[in-house]
Amino acid sequence: MSSDSSKKRKPKVIRTDGGPQEGKRSRPDADQDARYYSEEAEVDLRGPSKDYELYKQTCQDLQKLMAEIQELKSKGNKDSAAEIEERRIQSCVHFMTLKKLNRLAHIRLKKGRDQTHEAKQKVDAYHLQLQNLLYEVMHLQKEITKCLEFKSKHEEIELVSIKEFYKEAPAEISKPEITTSDPHQQTLSRLDWELEQRKRLAEKYKECLANKEKILKEIEVKKEYLSNLQPRLNSIMQASLPVQEYLAMPFDQVHKQYETARHLPPPLYVLFVQASSYGQACDKKLAVAIEGNVEEAKALCKPPEDSQDDESDSDAEEEQTTKRRRPTLGVQLDDKRKEMLKRHPLSVTIDLKCKDGSVLHLTFYYLMNLNVMTVKTKVTAAAEMTMPISAGELLSLDSLLSCLYPGDHGKRTPNPANQFQFDKVGILTLSDYVTELGHPYVWVQKLGGLHFPKDQPQQPVIADSSLSASHMERTMKLLKMRLESRLALQKQFASLEHGILPVSSECQHLFPAKIVSRLVKWIALTYEDYLELSYTKDVVEAGLAEDTHLYYLALIERGTAKLQAAVVLNPGYSSVPPVFSLCLNWKGEKTNSNDDNIRAMEGEVNVYYQELCGPKPGYQLLTNQLQHLCVVLDVYLETETHDNSVEGPKEFPQEKMCLRLVRGPSRMKPFKFNYPQGFFSHR
């Protein structure tokens, strides 16, 4: 009820402010408004404590009246009805007082709520102002931080030095009287000078662009002219083919070779270019060509096809493989090995022609996954030659180019990274595949511009043309010398197997006219057979016998004396002389360990070999050494003292003229032949 009255009173308050609406009110409403406003005034004049005391007093009085009414009703007198009515009226008055107190309490509560709401609004306003101020403070702090951390664009510009600025800038920009003492003005002046310079450069840049456009137009005109010229040149080249063939000037063939060379891998391309350049400059007989499948090489350079095609192909392959058995682990490893040892489809061939017309064919390959080059060899002799039994290893693929440079036998890969690749696919060593792939000699890598340092971290190896050029000339000369020396040895071995020592006319003066000892046997030995000989231990221990060398056994006889000579032929013959180990079977077994003269005979052929080289390049050294062994064997046998207890003529009569038969306590014999006097003397 109180709430309804408050709802009715609130709009009346608003209407009182309006003024003109008061005339429309009724009289009861005006009295009610007067009471309402008197109660609000009463609330302002009296505190809640007095209302509380009045409330307590009213409740007590009401309680007493109710008790009296109860007591009168309980007596049941008819006279008590008036008293009961009187007390009921008094009770109603007290109820009216309670209602009034209730209204006052609600009015006081409403005022308290209004005051609380007003205070809350003030607090919210102050809090909002505080937040605004805090936000402004934070914003100002950020702006201050930005200002403190601000980096001007001029700090990123690389200005000229102060010294150059004052030297080059004009006085109206540099202003030395102001800028020398003021860093800020100095920076502004430097920026002005930078702007001036950039304006000049911008103008120059525009001029260069204009020139560039002009040059590009000229280039386009020339390109169009050249494109029209190409068909005419092709027709001229076709017409000149008979002339090229007649003059032995195959320009068209060379052009095609260079077109094919574009598809070579970098090492083979470097080899092709450097070998062609060397042939044009130093060796006109050198022939360089490219062999192989050009289409496969082009396919290697093409990017992979679209993924859709690959997916369709892979789906088809999956359908086929589901019908087949899964390959075993061994088959997978074999496939991985084949992929690891895959060669490039193109190869480079070099034909080296010697003076006698023999040709050394070299075919160079490139192993793409191993990044190394290999070479295969083939020899074409100028004329048909009989192949001696002992010369089987001379022109074989394994020994022909072995140790062209010292220690380079071509059985191991020169790339250290290949060993880790071999471990993944189960390859122990590359030497098991050299017959098929070729030998990866170090000099082959250098001809292709490849260098693999072993004492430094591995970097991606790139073909270097300068490395190839620095080794090309010397390597070609060594290859020619190797072929010529092996062909010369092959001819000599054919005579040695028949017991003939082919001494050239230029070397006849190195030996006496009459030589009785004769070569009766010349055979090839294996490295293991050479090690088993008892009189070769000194050579083996000295490191002069390796498995890459060639080994032979010569037997020289005179009467009952037999001289065995074990020969170590270095692959670098004749630059490196052969090494002889001797064993004489006559009156017992005599070697360098029990006979000083045998040691001296070995020294005659091993130490003083330069006297037996003959004319350069010294390919007759081996036969001259064998001939000299026959001579010193004659001297050894003829200078031996004769046993007088044995009847009959001397077995080896002295036919050589010697100044002294023996010398010194070791009874050394005169093995040095003096030409043209024709006598023997001690060294």
At 188-241, the pLDDT tens digits run: 888 888 889 999 999 999 999 999 999 999 999 999 988 888 888 778 777 777
d(CA 58, CA 71): 20
Nearest 5°: the CA angle 161, 162, 163 is 90
DSSP code per residue over 395-442: TSTTTSSTTSSTT--S-S-S-TTHHHHHHHHT---GGGGHHHH-B--H
From the list 404, 403, 412, 405, the residue with the least C-alpha distance to 433 is 412
Given this model, what pLDDT does residue 356 score? 82
Given this model, what pLDDT does residue 5 score? 41
Q: Quick check: 580 and 606 in contact, CB under 8 A?
A: yes
Phi-psi region of 667 (alpha: psi -120 to 50; beta: other; left: phi over 0): left
Given this model, what pLDDT does residue 31 score? 54
Q: What share of the chain is helix, strand, coil (3-state, %, to 5)?
A: 60, 10, 30
d(CA 378, CA 352): 11
Q: Is the dihedral of CA 663, 667, 670, 672 positive or negative?
A: negative
Beta-carbon contacts of residue 449 (< 8 Å; ≥ 6 apart) = 266, 267, 270, 271, 462, 463, 464, 465, 466, 467, 468
Q: Quick check: 443 and 406 in contact, CB under 8 A?
A: no
H or E element at residue 121: helix 80-149
Nearest 5°: the CA angle 435, 438, 442 is 135
At 512-560, the pLDDT tens digits run: 988 999 999 999 999 999 999 999 999 999 999 998 899 999 999 998 9
Backbone angles phi, psi at 654, to 5 degrees: -75, 120
Q: Is the dihedral of CA 633, 638, 644, 648 positive or negative?
A: positive
3-class SS of residue 459:
coil
Q: Quick check: 84 and 72 in contact, CB under 8 A?
A: yes
DSSP code per residue over 194-219: HHHHHHHHHHHHHHHHHHHHHHHHHH
Strands 287-292 and 346-353: antiparallel
Question: Which residues of the chain are modeled with pLDDT < 50?
Answer: 1-25, 30, 34-37, 306-311, 322-323
DSSP code per residue over 302-333: SPP--HHHHHHHHHHHHHHHHHSPPPPHHHHH
d(CA 17, CA 365): 113
Given this model, what pLDDT does residue 320 score? 55
Residue 491, burial from CB neighbour count under 10 angstroms (0-12, 13-18, 19+) = middle
Q: Quick check: 522 and 497 in contact, CB under 8 A?
A: yes
DSSP state of 175: -
Beta-carbon contacts of residue 421 (< 8 Å; ≥ 6 apart) = 340, 369, 370
Radius of gyration of the chain (CA): 61
CB contact burial 666-682 (16+ within 10 A = b; e otherwise): eebbbbebeeeeeebee
Given this model, what pLDDT does residue 92 score? 92
H or E element at residue 585: strand 579-585
Residue with tokens 């607090």: 123
What strands lie across the sheet with 579-585, from one edge to the other? 518-525, 550-558, 561-569, 579-585, 589-591
Residue with tokens 């006559």: 586
d(CA 78, CA 446): 148
d(CA 138, CA 142): 6
d(CA 60, CA 56): 6
Nearest 5°: the CA angle 676, 678, 680 is 125
Structural tokens at position 91 = 């009770």
Entry field: residues in the chain:
683
Q: Is the dihedral of CA 377, 383, 389, 391 positive or negative?
A: negative
Beta-carbon contacts of residue 92 (< 8 Å; ≥ 6 apart) = none
Q: Quick check: 671 and 604 in contact, CB under 8 A?
A: yes
Residues forming beta bridges with residue 555, ordered by sequence position? 521, 564
Given this model, what pLDDT does residue 161 score? 87
Structural tokens at position 389 = 């039994």
Q: Is the dihedral of CA 513, 515, 520, 521 positive or negative?
A: negative
d(CA 401, CA 571): 8
CB contact burial 599-630 (16+ within 10 A = b; e otherwise): bbbbbbbbeebeebbbeeebbbbbbbbbbbbb
d(CA 533, CA 522): 16
Structural tokens at position 521 = 């046997």
From the list 352, 612, 605, the residue with the least C-alpha distance to 486 is 352
**Other CB atoms within 10 A of residue 444 CB:** 26
d(CA 678, CA 352): 44
Peptide bond into 617 cis (omega under 30): yes
